Amino acid sequence: MSETPKRAQRAGHGADTIYWDPVKKSYVGAVSLGYAPNGKRRRPKVYGKTKTEVRNKIRDLKKEVQTGVKAPANYTVADAVNDWLERGLKGRDEKGTIGKNRSMANKHLIPFIGKAKLKELSADDVDDWLDDRAEFLATRSLRDLLAILRRSIAHAQRRDKAARNVALLVTAPEGRPGRPSKALNLEQAKAVLTAARPSRLYAYLVLSLLSGVRTEEARPLTWDHVFLETTDGIPPHVAVWRSVRKHGETKTRKSRRTIALPKQVVEVLEEHMRWQKQERASRGMEWSPTGRVFTTRSGEPLDAANVRRDFKAIVKKAGLKPEWTPRELRHSFVSLLSDHGIPLERIALLVGHSSQATTEAVYRKQLRPVITQGAEAMDDIFAEDQEGEGAEGQEEGDAVA
């Protein structure tokens, strides 16, 4: 026989109450949980079709209170993720770490499990979500997504909004094979530089390809760290001491390095400096010897999106597929040096790796044993082509004459 509503009896002060709500047509349980810091009484409510259901909800609510967890009934996975992004990553780079995590969460996490109540989320729910995403994402991306969920729930736990972290019970599945990084061969590298010649990104690409600096190291480079003349026997060089990472630190301690510049890089940077001074003067802006080497048209620092967009257009103009990325200029630097006979330990030093093992593991495309230095090698590699072009030009001039 089903329960029938009975007239509610007045409960004692501070006692739990269960009563029938004719408007909601359900039983309501009001739980007394003391007072908030502002003095307001805490008296949350739970609802159910029967008194038994309401009593069970009251019991579960009290258990959460006893464990110190006060998980809101309507607190969702999306709420947890957004709270972590807003409060759990304070001090991190907004465009770097936070931007990357926010983008991944907005594309692959929140649209799929964001509406789920966090207190009701199960390990099976997380498994099903990751299995679905595995058809579209690489294994590394799946691991990053799971890490975002784990850290978001952990942040909610520290705020007493979650009792347990079910994401810790799940392992990321194997996803689609990721696209391995590639390296430009010599002909492709020359084609890219030729296509970039009219672009304001030309000097940036020449420096990246012929000296091996990371894109995150080239963007914050300032003129006071660029030395284009030989002084006291020290050849032209660039001091790679900063990056766009938090606090301007380079990727590792050994990433802080001074690199000799090939002649072609020196010539291009000298031309770039003259052009930048003229551009500043035409806009009524003062050129600064401590200013950024590479900027936008308005003089603002370049960001990764600026570089990727312009590089994609340059690669397409060079007749290559637009799938190439700016960071692969560094891979190309390593491969070209290796082809030219530079030893592994020398390459590791030039690219700022903490050990040869890192160089061998990350850049294993064309590594070979060797014997010369980076700047000299790059002069040799690209000078051969320049000499050939000069000879062809001379022959054409003789023919015209």
Which residues are marked as active site? 214, 251, 330, 353, 363
What does the DSSP assignment read for 276-330? HHHHHHHTT----TTSBSSB-TTSPBP-HHHHHHHHHHHHHHTTS-TT--TTHHH
Which residue, among 287, 268, 263, has the nearest Cα to 196 in the 3D structure? Answer: 268
Q: Residue 125 pairs with which residues in a beta bridge? A: none
Exposure on the CB side of residue 280, measured as CA atoms within 13 A: 18
Cα 80 from Cα 77, distance rounded (Å): 5
Q: Is the separation of the CB atoms in 83 and 131 below 8 Å?
A: no
Cβ count within 10 A of residue 193:
21
Q: Is the separation of the CB atoms in 49 and 27 below 8 Å?
A: yes
Reduce the DSSP state of residue 155 to 3 states and report it: helix
What does the DSSP assignment read for 324-386? --TTHHHHHHHHHHHHTT--HHHHHHHHT-SSHHHHHHH--SS-----S-HHHHHHHHHHHHH
| Residue 338, both tokens | 């290796």
Q: Is the separation of the CB atoms in 276 and 287 below 8 Å?
A: yes
Cα 180 from Cα 121, distance rounded (Å): 35
Which residue, among 305, 328, 325, has the nearest Cα to 314 in the 3D structure? Answer: 325
